[in-house]
Amino acid sequence: MLIGVPKEILPGENRVALIPSFISTLTQAGQEVMVESGAGAGCFYADKAYEEAGASIAPNAEALYSSADIVFKIRPPESAEVEMLREGTTLICLMDAFFRLDLLEQLASQKISGFGLEFVPRISRAQSMDVLSSMAAIAGYRAVIEAAELLPKYFPMLMTSAGTIAPAKVFVIGAGVAGLMAIATAKRLGAVVEAYDTRPVVKEQVESVGAKFVEFDLETAGEDAGGYAKAQSDDFYKKQQEQMKAKVATVDVVITTAAIPGKKSPVLITDDMLQSMQAGSVIIDLAAERGGNTEGAEAGVVVEKHGIKIVGYTDYPSRSAVHASQLFAKNITTFLLNMVKDGEYAIDLEDEIVKGALLVHDGQVVHEMIKPLMEQQGE
């Protein structure tokens, strides 16, 4: 099978789905690799490096898409890219499926098999395929670096001849992969770190990376089977905001990470809460792409309200494109090779990982979470 790796066309996207060091892993498993010219430029991998690793170079996207049996991508393809795919091709990428039903319809109509890497089940056997965790860890790290740059204070405590500098206070909301990495990074920079999560079971993890776990007087719905925090009731969020207000008023940096798969991000920090915060404080809203956890957050930009900077960047993995591409390449290569036996690629619907990530197959949307949405859309 020929694996095609196109150049990402979204403005500002510097990652590439496969780096040269993983090509031999694929060729040794009986696969061929073709890379679009310039695909690795954003993370400093030249065409020559791919050729030396054993890949061929396609001069443009059309040449690649029309030849590939399997396509590795980072971002969901645009309609024009899908049109270049041959019937029967397999597409593997982050599909953003809940919000791209139009894309799934197009893939089905062209009889493309589509895998969404965000749906890889969180089981032990699939840990090395977990793209979401790989990218979330980078986002958590970069969030703290961004906050440190924007905050008009030092992060660490310093004792100088001119007096003692108190450490910055950082509050992390959400202790998933991104939150835990943010905690660890802020702690390494010398901040005093506290964290909150609706899942009490993560308290030990929070404390293990150096933060104090904040507990509010609330009854929570816990986590779902995938380890994500469940959506809560409107009454819960109202009570949470009341108790959150007192906490955010005492800190310099807030990092929010609360996202619910397939839904708009819950608002955790209201305009009223912003007014209670210290002028010059910084909020890094890692949920900004889906509306944000902060009232007034805007995806992709920095907004200033009441003297507080609200950062809504959505491209943190792309800002660390070299390592983000390395991790993504490992995840996607391992995912594919799970379906390769004795050099032959096949979709095994009995495999939990394969079934969990397969969205479109044989001209139909097949994922159990997406099919009802497609049916509702058709009504």
Which residue numbers are catalytic? Answer: 122, 127, 130, 133, 228
Stated as kind and residue range, the H or E segment containing 361 is strand 358-361
215: left (phi over 0), alpha (psi -120 to 50) or beta: beta
Cα–Cα distance measured from residue 23 to residue 40, given in angstroms and rounded to the nearest whole number: 13
Query: Are 216 and 232 in contact, with CB atoms under 8 Å apart?
Result: no
Please return the burial class of 125, using the count of CB atoms within 10 Å of its CB with bins 0-12, 13-18 and 19+. exposed
Residues 6+ apart with CB under 8 A from 314: 288, 289, 299, 300
Name, in order, each residue with C-beta under 8 angstroms of 107's C-beta and a sequence gap of 6 or more: 82, 91, 114, 359, 360
Nearest to 286 by CA among 152, 165, 149, 173: 173
- Residue 350 per-residue DSSP state: T
Contact partners, residue 357, CB within 8 Å, separation at least 6: 115, 116, 117, 119, 120, 121, 335
For residues 317 and 138, give the distance between their C-alpha atoms in angstroms, rounded to a whole number.
6
Query: Could you tell me which of 221, 227, 220, 125 has the C-alpha nearest to residue 179?
Result: 227
Joined together, the tokens standing for residue 207 give 């404390």
Max distance between CA atoms of the chain, in angstroms, equals 72
Q: What share of the chain is helix, strand, coil (3-state, %, to 5)?
A: 40, 20, 40
Interhelix angle for 177-188 vs 131-150, to 10°? 40
Report residue 128 as tokens. Answer: 């090395």
Quote the CA–CA distance of 157 and 338 in Å, as a whole number. 48
